[in-house]
């Protein structure tokens, strides 16, 4: 067990807690930089998806995990960012300018959606944002002069200051850079007054207000900042997917982002990254299992001579091939996580870490929260 002695206030506002944790992150950075050299092109591409999803996850984490405002419409912001970026690129704007414009447009749309959020909370806000997402999806399919509707819209590979990012490996580094940037900026906000105001709004609006937090301004700010990050993710998403069509940005994608932050662990930036790993890698894992399970179980049936194993393998394989299985598995996992581990993957990670750092003194009761019924709901 490691004890940290604090000798200056700076220690509580540093980016990394201490040199030990800073060196762990350094190691992680080295691993992330070395990854494309070690993996095949396919896995580099899949990891890039993790980064893009993680930027989106950070975006939604700010809103849901830190400010306590639920959004079921974040696919719309992703789409706005993607379409805006693709449109500006098509019209010959430089990449950086196009990206900045796309982010600004998404920010503005975030502000607009944020306005009703000032009067709504919980399920009502979720429904309002859902409606917004449906409207935006309709706009994508109807506004053909800009989006080309269902004919789709090709997106050029990024060329930044004359440097082309053509192959998957260079694009991987670009996405990694933006993810680190997004995490750093968000972490900065969270350790300054703005982030504290968001957390305060999440936990008690009335107390936040009495301490001087202007609810309208800080809620709009959370929406705008969240939308800006989602716009950034959208621009990268556009490059990654290479061809935009309105039916990409559906409600299911919004739900996937919500799943990401809940499974990752609400109220932590680690959770956004863990959740992104989960959401981005589950489909390829299912695809791999779909082929490998029947094969390996057929092998097992041959070697052991028990035909039943092969039959079961065949059944599992067929089941995984059914349409909608992926969504079903996502849903099942969401339910299980909410029931069994409300703090998500990050919560599990904290427990494992505590287990090792206090070994052999770990008490499972450390994380048990006692129920309290003290807070007044009267003033909501």
Partner 1 sequence: MSFFEADQLSINFGGIRAVDGVSFDVEQGEVFTIIGPNGAGKTTIFNLVSRIYEPTAGRLSFDGTDITNVAPHRIAALGIARTFQNIELFEHATLLQNLLLARHAHKKSGFFSELLFLPSVRRLEIEHREAVEKAIDFLDLQQYRDSLIVNLPYGVRKVTELARALCTDPRLLLLDEPSSGLNVEETEDMAFWIQDIRDLLGITVLMVEHDMSLVSAVSDRVLALNYGRPIALGTPAEVQAHPEVIRAYLGG
Residue 375 contacts partner 1 per CB under 8 A: yes
Instruction: Tell me the closest approach of the beta carbon of residue 10 to partner 1, in angstroms.
Output: 7
Q: Which of 26, 122, 164, 193 binds partner 1 (CB under 8 A)?
A: 193
Instruction: Tell me the closest approach of the beta carbon of residue 225 to partner 1, in angstroms.
Output: 9
Near partner 1 by CB under 8 A, which window of 44-52, 55-63, 134-142, 211-219?
Answer: 211-219
Instruction: Tell me the closest approach of the beta carbon of residue 144 to partner 1, in angstroms.
Output: 37
Q: How many CA atoms lie within 13 A of 247 on its CB side?
A: 3
Residue 203 contacts partner 1 per CB under 8 A: yes
As given in the structure block, the two tokens for residue 124 are 């009502």
C-beta of residue 165 within 8 angstroms of C-beta of residue 96: no
Residue 213 contacts partner 1 per CB under 8 A: yes
Q: Encode 172-198: b = buried (16+ Cβ within 10 Å), e = exposed.
A: bbbbbebbeebbeebeebbeeebbbbb
Residue 188 contacts partner 1 per CB under 8 A: yes
Instruction: Tell me the closest approach of the beta carbon of residue 22 to partner 1, in angstroms.
Output: 16
Site for partner 1 in 8-67 (CB under 8 A): 9-10, 12-13
Pairing of strands 153-154, 243-244: antiparallel
Residue 189 contacts partner 1 per CB under 8 A: yes
Tell me how crowded residue 341 is: count the other CB atoms within 10 A of its CB: 16
Residue 7 contacts partner 1 per CB under 8 A: no
Near partner 1 by CB under 8 A, which window of 27-35, 125-133, 194-202, 301-309?
Answer: 194-202
- Residue count, binding to partner 1 (CB under 8 A): 38
Interacting residues of 56 by C-beta distance below 8 A, sequence separation 6+: 74, 78, 229, 230, 233, 237, 257, 260, 276
**Distance between CA 268 and CA 228 in Å, rounded?**
19
């Amino acid at each position: 067990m490691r004890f940290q002695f604090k000798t200056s206030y700076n220690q509580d506002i540093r980016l990394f807690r201490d040199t030990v944790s800073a060196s762990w992150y350094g190691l992680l950075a080295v691993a992330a930089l070395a990854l494309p050299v070690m993996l095949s092109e396919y896995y580099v591409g899949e990891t890039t998806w993790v980064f893009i999803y993680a930027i989106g996850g950070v975006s939604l984490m700010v809103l849901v995990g830190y400010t306590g405002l639920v959004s079921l419409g974040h696919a719309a912001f992703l789409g706005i960012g993607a379409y805006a970026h693709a449109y500006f690129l098509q019209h010959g704007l430089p990449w950086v300018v196009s990206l900045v414009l796309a982010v600004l447009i998404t920010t503005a749309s975030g502000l607009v959606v944020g306005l009703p959020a000032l009067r709504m909370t919980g399920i009502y806000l979720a429904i309002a944002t859902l409606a917004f997402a449906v409207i935006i999806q309709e706009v994508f399919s109807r506004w053909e002069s800009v989006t080309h509707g269902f004919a789709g819209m090709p997106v050029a590979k990024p060329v930044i200051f004359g440097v082309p990012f053509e192959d998957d490996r260079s694009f991987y580094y670009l996405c990694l850079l933006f993810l680190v940037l997004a995490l750093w900026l968000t972490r900065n906000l969270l350790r300054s007054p703005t982030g504290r105001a968001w957390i305060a709004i999440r936990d008690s609006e009335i107390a936040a207000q009495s301490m001087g937090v202007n609810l309208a301004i800080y809620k709009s700010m959370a929406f705008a900042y969240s939308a800006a990050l989602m716009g950034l993710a959208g621009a990268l998403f556009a490059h990654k997917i290479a061809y935009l069509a309105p039916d990409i940005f559906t409600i299911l994608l919004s739900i996937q982002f919500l799943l990401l932050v809940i499974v990752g662990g609400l109220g932590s930036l680690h959770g956004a990254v863990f959740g992104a790993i989960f959401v981005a890698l589950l489909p390829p894992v299912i695809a791999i299992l779909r082929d490998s399970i029947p094969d390996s179980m057929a092998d097992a049936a041959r070697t052991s001579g028990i035909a039943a194993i092969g039959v079961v393998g065949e059944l599992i394989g067929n089941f995984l091939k059914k349409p909608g299985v992926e969504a079903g598995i996502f849903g099942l996992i969401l339910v299980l996580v909410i029931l069994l581990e409300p703090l998500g993957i990050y919560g599990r990670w904290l427990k494992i870490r505590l287990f090792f750092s206090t070994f052999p003194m770990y008490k499972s009761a450390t994380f048990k929260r006692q129920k309290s019924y003290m807070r007044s709901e009267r003033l909501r």
